[in-house]
Amino acid sequence: MYEIKYLNKFAKSLGKMVAKDMGFSHSQLTNYITVGNIKHLIKQYCSTNKYGQLLIDEEQTSQVCSEILDWLIGVDLAKMAADDKLDCYWDDKINQMVFKYKEKNHGKKV
């Protein structure tokens, strides 16, 4: 277990690391998720000691990183769908959302 002394700094570092490792720009990171959101995710997975200090281990940190990545991907997919770059629909057969790049000519032969 590790003690988080500076939550704000830890949240910023985690967000930057996830964004960089997964190919998101700093601009995308700051537009898609706030430091406050990341701090909330960290607090969800942390435990506290009897003095109220936040404690986190490697597995919990990994879960927070996963949540940050899910958030970034979700916002990116929603943005592409809103920009009419993706088709987005619910597929009852597989019971999940499906995202597909739109064909440039909407299936018409040129």
Identify whether 11 is part of a domain: yes
Report the predicted TM-score, pTM, of the whole model to 2 decimal places. 0.85
Residue 74 resides in a domain = yes
Instruction: Indicate whether 51 belongs to any domain.
Output: yes
Number of domains in the chain: 1
Query: Is residue 56 within 8 Å of residue 2, measured between CB atoms?
Result: yes
- Going by pLDDT thresholds of 50, 70 and 90, the confidence category of residue 101 is confident
* Structural domain span for residue 24: 2-83
User: Could you tell me the pLDDT band of residue 110, with boundaries at 50, 70 and 90?
Assistant: very low
